[in-house]
Amino acid sequence: MNILPAIDLKDSQAVRLFQGDFAQKTIVNATPLAQAREFAEGGMKYLHVVDLDGALEARAVHAPLIAKIKQENPRLFVEVGGGIRSMEQVEDYLNQGIDRIIIGSAALTNPEFVKQAVEKFGEKIAVGIDAKDEKVAISGWLEVAETDYITFAKEMVKLGVQTIIYTDISKDGTLAGPSVAHYEKLTSALPTTKIIASGGVSSVEDLRELMKTGVDGAIVGKAFYSGKIGLEEMREIQGGQSC
C-alpha cells in the first residue's frame, strides 16, 4: 500500500482542518515548500495536495505555489485537488508537471467534465469523493447531496475513472481511526478500481487495517503533523504497486 502525506493549502500555508470545518484550522507549516521538501528528502514517493481556498472559490487559487512544489521536488508523484472546474485548469496543472488531477465537486455537478477529462488524460484523472453520513459532499464540504458514495463511485467508474479518493468527512482531522467498513464496501463494489483512503488515520495500526481492505493507498495528514506517525514508519509501509 502506498502512503500519500498531505499538504492542505489555505492562505499559502499548510494547514489541517477538523472535520472539514474551515473555522477549525491549525497551521502545521507556514512554508509549504519546506514541508514538501521534508517529505521528499524523507523518502516519500507521493504527495497529496489540496487547494482549500480553491475548493471554496471554485478556482485554482494556489496553482503557482503547487507548481513550484512539483518543480522543486520532481521525484515526488504529486496529485492535486481543490477548485478544479474546467479542462483549462486540468491542462494547466498537467503542463506544470503535476502527475494526477483530482476532480471533486465538479464530478457531481458536471459529470460530462469528468468524462471529457478521462477521455483526454486517462489515468491522470482521479475523482475525489467526500462523504458525510455516506452522502456525497461538495463545495468545500459545505453542501451535502442525496447521492450515496457507493452509487456515485460506480457512476464515475462507468465514465472511465480508474482512481477514487474517498474521504469520510466525519473522520477527517479527528485521529479517530478511518472508516474501515466504508473502504471494505468500496473495494468489494469496485474490485478493479484503485481506491485511496483519506481521513481518520491515527497510527501505523490504522494503516495496517486499511491494507487489509485492499485499498491501493492511504493519505496521512494530521497523524504525521501531530507526531503519531513518523516518516520512517510511513516509508516502511509504502511500496507495492503504484496508486
**Position 178 in a domain:** yes
pLDDT number for residue 94: 98
Alpha-carbon distances of 154 from 148, 158, 197, 210, rounded to whole Å: 10, 6, 16, 21
Q: Structural domain tally of the chain?
A: 1
Question: Could you tell me which residue, 215 or 132, shows the higher pLDDT?
Answer: 215
Reduced to 3 states (helix: H, G, I; strand: E, B; else coil), residue 51 is: strand
**Position 13 in a domain:** yes
Inform me whether the pLDDT recorded for 243 exceeds 70: no
Spatial separation of the C-alpha atoms in residues 155 and 158, rounded to whole Å: 5
When the pLDDT of each residue in the chain is averaged and rounded to a whole number, the result is 92
pLDDT number for residue 132: 86
Inform me whether the pLDDT recorded for 88 exceeds 80: yes
The CB density around residue 188, as the number of other CB atoms within 10 Å, is: 11
pLDDT number for residue 105: 85
Q: State phi, psi for 238 to the nearest 5 degrees.
A: -65, 150
pLDDT number for residue 100: 98
Question: Could you tell me which residue, 111 or 21, shows the higher pLDDT?
Answer: 111
Containing structural domain, residue 47: 2-237
The CB density around residue 146, as the number of other CB atoms within 10 Å, is: 6
pLDDT number for residue 142: 61
Spatial separation of the C-alpha atoms in residues 75 and 81, rounded to whole Å: 19
Examine the residue annotation and report whether 133 is marked as an active-site residue of this protein. Answer: no
Question: Exposure string (b/e) for 66-89, b if CB count within 10 Å is 16 or more?
Answer: bbebbeebeebbbbbbbbbbbeeb
pLDDT in tens, 67-82: 999 999 999 999 999 9
Q: Which of 53, 130, 168, 206 is catalytic?
A: 130
Place of cell 489515468: 123
Inform me whether the pLDDT recorded for 18 exceeds 80: no
pLDDT number for residue 86: 95
Inform me whether the pLDDT recorded for 40 exceeds 90: yes
**Position 243 in a domain:** no
**Position 179 in a domain:** yes
pLDDT number for residue 20: 62
**Position 71 in a domain:** yes
pLDDT number for residue 24: 75
Reduced to 3 states (helix: H, G, I; strand: E, B; else coil), residue 182 is: helix
Query: Of 71-75, 168-172, 231-235, which gets the smallest average pLDDT?
Result: 168-172
**Position 242 in a domain:** no
pLDDT number for residue 190: 98
Which class for 175: exposed (0-12), middle (13-18), buried (19 or more C-beta within 10 A)? middle
User: pTM here?
Assistant: 0.92
Examine the residue annotation and report whether 130 is marked as an active-site residue of this protein. Answer: yes
pLDDT band at 107 (very low <50, low <70, confident <90, very high): very high
User: Which residues lie below 8 Å from residue 130, measured CB to CB, with a gap of 6+?
Assistant: 20, 104, 136, 137, 138, 141, 166, 167, 169
Residues 134-148: what's their mean pLDDT? 75
Inform me whether the pLDDT recorded for 240 exceeds 60: no
Residues 94-99: what's their mean pLDDT? 98
Task: Assign residue 184 the CATH number of its domain.
Answer: 3.20.20.70
pLDDT band at 19 (very low <50, low <70, confident <90, very high): low
